A and B are shown apart, each in its own frame.
Chain A
Amino acid sequence: MSAVIDVRDLRTHIVTRWGTIKAVDGVSFALGEAETLGLVGESGSGKSMTCLSIVRLVPRPAARIVGGAVLLDGNDLLKKTDDEMQRIRGRTVAMILQDPMSSLNPVFSIGMQMREPLTMYHGLRGRAVLARAAELLASVSIPSPAARLRAFPHQLSGGMRQRVVGAMAIAGPPRLLIADEPTTSLDLTIQAQYLGLLKELQQRHRFAMIFVTHNLGIVARTCDRVAVMYAGRIVEIGPVRRIFAQPAHPYTRALLESIPRFGARRERLAAIAGQPPDLATLAAGCAFAPRCPAAFERCVEAPPETEVVPGHATRCWLHVLP
């Protein structure tokens, strides 16, 4: 199965008062049809910036994509013109944002906001647009879709709004859907429903999905593979089952250990010692070393990506044979 999306050595830098931040520092991964990749990490690890880089909407002028390639069905997105990218966005690569309260424009009706992508991507007009919009709303399980078209965002609940955003995202339908923490702002009971909805849509339309989250539980349930990011780099990537069972990187291990389990004898929550790194003052070498319980002399050098077993790779000297 050829990759729908193939990111190779993507690099995005942000120029700030304190120095240049390597927000995305050589990120590579590939995804096939109907495959879901979970992108996990703390705030500031580069997850969101990676996603924005894929669609080339990094906040200018401070941030710039400085290197790498992003191949969508073989075409390098980084080489496209602005106009071409604009036509690709939404239609071929769609993205859902975190907060449904603020993602929808408060002064336009749901109908108007749904019509826009339909007119842009498919040239539909008039009654056809409304019909299709109602169909899309129905496909995300919104009751009385036709009536909803006339409503305004503030009249809908958070869960419904996020579904509307989802409906707009699959209007293409896209080849790749990027979901940036789409359930973080939703009630727990609704989260499960929404995740189910996303999987269902994925099966139907066969798009690849990148699911950004800091919640390993969601990763376990919805993702096929997972990439763990730290300080702008992917420190471990592989199938979910395998990584959960046998994490290779100390950071991944610490993340998994910090999840409290029922029946565990430990009384205190295990936290990861130390602070997240200041990206402006990164020393050369492994970024996690200052907090790593297993750090040793080689860690002053940046570790290369090494295969633990085929399909499972990590950046850690512990797995590099001397």
Chain B
Amino acid sequence: MLRFVLFRLLQSLVALAILSVVVFVLARATGDPLHMILPMNASEEDYANARKYLGLDRPYVEQYFSFVGRAVTGDFGTSIRARRPVIELLRERLPNSLKLAAFAMGASLAIAFPLGVMAAVKKGTGVDRAAQIVAVLGQSLPTFWVAIVLVEFVAGRWQWLPAGGADSLASYVLPGLTLGWFVVAGMMRLLRSGMLEVLDSEYVKLARLKGVAERKVVWVHALKNALIPVVTFAGIYFAILVTTAIVVETVFAWPGLGRLAYDGITSRDFPVIQAVVLTTATIVAAVNLGVDCLYAVIDPRIRYSR
């Protein structure tokens, strides 16, 4: 089991390394940030000085390695636009994004699980139909559209819930639901189809023959098997959550990574862009690693086959 974890960890690190190169190149490709921060009438000399000051005049390879070296210790440089250490900005914003993503994921799973299992158990009935409609809608509705409507009506007109900021628990609800809506859809479908397949299996039949109560058959014997694909996709969905967050954070004025990325990109703030992308990717990679390990815990066949 330990070998398995170590192996996966190594894979993640390699993936991150590749990503860091890509990020580095891309950030440089966004253009020259100096145009944004130096005044219009700056001279050639001013540009040269600024470049030297920011270390932008050294060869790319050197820049890359110094970037990686410092990134590993948490030093992402200084934001060109905000003139503050990027790490500070990250520290402010990251927790908000994580909290939102966690809330969205948690709420979605809480809704998707019972819905998916019940839809499979009561296949063909009203519950099943309703669940399928929820699923299909969830994957077809554009997030930001729902977001706007919610902001305007639920927050604006009816004043039931706050529209922005990350202050109260209530303020998590709208953005969290908007973000997690499609996760509910996807998870629910996965669970439903997984359960349907498992409920048909020989071992479930045998469990019933052994006299196990139907409730236990569904929620213990069957569910654990149906969880396998769900867990796999949980990782992917989390990654999608982190990325869709940009849009949601913009609409709901949520002070998180997404906003930071957006501002960074539009103002060509290399250090910020690099830091955000790397952080996001690291989070996603870590989550995937965790998911893989969880997968091995649930399904013993994985543990021993690698």
Interface residues of A (CB under 8 A from B): 55, 57, 86-91, 94-95, 97, 99, 102-109, 116-117, 120-121, 152, 154-155, 165, 168
CB distance from A170 to the nearest CB of B (A): 12
Does B62 lie at the interface of the complex (its beta carbon under 8 Å from any beta carbon of A)? Answer: no
What does the 1/0 interface line of B199-233 toward A look like (CB < 8 Å)? Answer: 00111011111111110000001001100000000
Residue in B205, B208, B211 whose beta carbon sits within 8 Å of that of A87 in the complex: B211
- The residues of B that contact A168 with a CB separation of less than 8 Å are 210
Instruction: Determine which residue in B213, B214, B298, B300 has the highest number of CB atoms from chain A within 10 A of its CB, and name it.
Output: B300
CB distance from B303 to the nearest CB of A (A): 9
Does B3 lie at the interface of the complex (its beta carbon under 8 Å from any beta carbon of A)? Answer: no
Does B160 lie at the interface of the complex (its beta carbon under 8 Å from any beta carbon of A)? Answer: no
Q: How far is the CA of A117 from the CA of B298 in the complex (A)?
A: 22
Does B158 lie at the interface of the complex (its beta carbon under 8 Å from any beta carbon of A)? Answer: no
Interchain CB contact under 8 A, A120 and B212? yes
B interface bracket (residues with beta carbon within 8 Å of A): 20 to 34
Interchain CB contact under 8 A, B212 and A105? no
CB distance from A55 to the nearest CB of B (A): 6
Does B53 lie at the interface of the complex (its beta carbon under 8 Å from any beta carbon of A)? Answer: no
Q: Contacts A107-B298, A152-B301: A102 and B208 contacting too (C-beta < 8 A)? A: no
Residue in B202, B213, B225, B300 whose beta carbon sits within 8 Å of that of A103 in the complex: B202
Q: How far is the CA of A316 from the CA of B205 in the complex (A)?
A: 36
Instruction: Determine which residue in B203, B210, B301 has the highest number of CB atoms from chain A within 10 A of its CB, and name it.
Output: B210
- The residues of B that contact A117 with a CB separation of less than 8 Å are 210-211
- The residues of A that contact B214 with a CB separation of less than 8 Å are 86
- Nearest residue, chain A, Cβ from B124: A61
- Nearest residue, chain A, Cβ from B225: A107
- The residues of A that contact B202 with a CB separation of less than 8 Å are 97, 99, 102-103
Q: How far is the CA of A109 from the CA of B300 in the complex (A)?
A: 9
Q: How far is the CA of A121 from the CA of B211 in the complex (A)?
A: 9
Interchain CB contact under 8 A, A105 and B225? yes
Q: Contacts A57-B205, A107-B299, A154-B300: A89 and B210 contacting too (C-beta < 8 A)? A: yes
CB distance from A154 to the nearest CB of B (A): 5
Q: How far is the CA of A109 from the CA of B224 in the complex (A)?
A: 13
Q: A103-B202, A105-B225, A107-B225 are in contact. List 13 more A-B contacts (CB 8 A).
A: A55-B209, A57-B208, A90-B209, A90-B212, A95-B206, A97-B205, A102-B201, A104-B206, A106-B299, A106-B301, A107-B298, A108-B224, A109-B300
- The residues of B that contact A86 with a CB separation of less than 8 Å are 211-214
- What are some 29 contacts across the A-B interface (CB < 8 A)? A57-B209, A86-B211, A89-B209, A89-B210, A90-B209, A91-B211, A95-B206, A95-B209, A97-B202, A97-B206, A97-B209, A102-B201, A102-B202, A102-B203, A103-B203, A104-B206, A105-B221, A105-B224, A106-B203, A106-B301, A107-B298, A108-B221, A108-B224, A109-B300, A116-B210, A120-B212, A154-B300, A154-B301, A168-B210
